[in-house]
Amino acid sequence: MKERKTDFQKLVILSLGTGAPDEKDRLEVGDGEWGVADWVWQDDESHPLLDVLMSAADEMTEMYISNIFQYTGLERNYTRLQANLTLKDSAMDDSGQKNLENLQKIGQDLAKNNDTKLEDLARRLIEIRKAR
């Protein structure tokens, strides 16, 4: 089968992150203070091991895609939006009405705070559409 090459000039990506922890929620681990159970579950109901693994995968994917677009000179074709979340906001097992409303507000604020990026993205899409 013949390999098809991707034409990155025709590819525009809006990458919406699932949220990153605030700096104040960063993990601090003393030398040898945590055992296996501490990495799995903390008293504040956080899950440090899961958080580290999920954020690492997210960060590596973002870095990889961002580098591809920078390397090809098409930085304008890649837009990344990521909200900062507290540990409580990022709880994946809280589907309560209050938390869902809070997450919706975080999403609305993210859009408002990035209106310039979103407008640039819309202009880029229009440019590409007109060029067809």
Q: Residue 34: inside a domain, yes or no?
A: yes
Which residues span the domain enclosing 123? 83-132
SS3 per residue for 46-88 = CCHHHHHHHHHHHHHHHHHHHHHHHHCCCHHHEEEECCEECCC
Residues 71 and 88 in one domain: no
pTM for the structure as a whole: 0.71
Task: Please report, in angstroms and rounded to a whole number, the separation of the first and last CA atoms in the chain.
Answer: 28
pLDDT digits (tens), the chain, 132 positions: 788 887 878 889 999 988 877 656 566 666 567 777 777 777 666 677 777 777 788 889 899 999 999 999 999 999 999 998 887 777 777 889 998 999 999 999 999 999 999 999 999 899 888 887
Co-location of 70 and 91 in the same domain: no
Q: Is residue 7 part of a domain?
A: no
Counting the structural domains of the chain, the total is 2
> Does some domain include residue 10?
no
Task: Examine residue 22 and state whether it is found in any structural domain, yes or no.
Answer: no
Q: Tell me whether residue 11 is in a domain.
A: no
